[in-house]
Structure 1
């Protein structure tokens, strides 16, 4: 075993000892798959697959630490500007992962509920069917929730919610003076009950939150942790460092 292999578990325990508060909801912007692929000389599709494998590993860490909700930013509305070949490969990967969810032993052992956030109308029919099958298979689970943001844009979700509310007002189902924050939240994310984001993590050395969950994150002043590793190189140590930032924020607010 290398020296790093010996020291990392010790450092993980040290970081965990510093974290007295564990966030309920962590949102992750998984950046750097393409740059990772380029640096090590593999194609982009393989980079995205390495990122998907890291996501599965991270879910084990999150469950172990007691995090109840994880939202991953997998594909934004802006990502539709990428090449047709890359989009096709990504959608093939997403479809494969959603289908595998149905028979994944860990999903059923941990009672993971899988659900999508985003504009389903922008997805191809086969991917949409895979998403719905995974959601149906896990809809009664309450041990852990994984939200996958696909064809997602933060401002767009607020616009869609506003349209629904305006339509309900025109139909006489809602009185304008009854519109409040709770009502708006009930129209976000297709009415899914998702708690405020406690912590946003962004990998790949990017320092912006990219229109991710503006109502649940920015509106609730979540802690933010930016780190250098590309997503496929993200470690449990990086997750614990992010949680330490959240813990420090919570402790500071308490005093």
Structure 2
């Protein structure tokens, strides 16, 4: 009898260890997010994991590319877009969970140069952007599809300089790719989000575009309709909570 009890205790303990290990290794919800959110969402995911939750799995790319992946049937739980248009796109195709779309945070647009550049330029209507480029070109995210590029084009059009430099654009696949071109000195100037410049350390901000020169840069978040992860909605609520937004603000996100 004593031997039987000992065997049962060993089996119970082994079962607990296996179950506990499986729980510790459980994958968190899969989050598809605009690449400009990389550092901020990594911080948020780390904090969520520190609160004894499975750490969310983060996948970053241009909002346009991620929305197309969702449309094509990619299995994910949350989508964070760098603009409202791509979230509208998925909502129009009934791919979002009803009632879960919310505005997460905001950003600003800046003109950057390599860190060693001594260029000075005020961003005002009709400013001499073409002259500042010299024989070089301007890097920005592809304005045909990528939110950062759309915002940049809108700002340059509103300021009356787009027509002068439209043929001198280097359209990158996403805003971080545009940033990299400036970091490496491939181009003398680029247009990126303020948070990208802050995260880099290899570029110098020449100036910030007036908020009135482009549509508001807002980041919506929503649960995807096909999500089945038990923690997906809880993590979404964490992101839009005061603590979640504070984490994002430490990386420069939010109204300024």
TM-score, structure 1 length as denominator? 0.24
| Structure with greater proportional strand content | 2
Larger Rg: 2
| Structure with greater proportional helix content | 1
TM-score, structure 2 length as denominator? 0.24
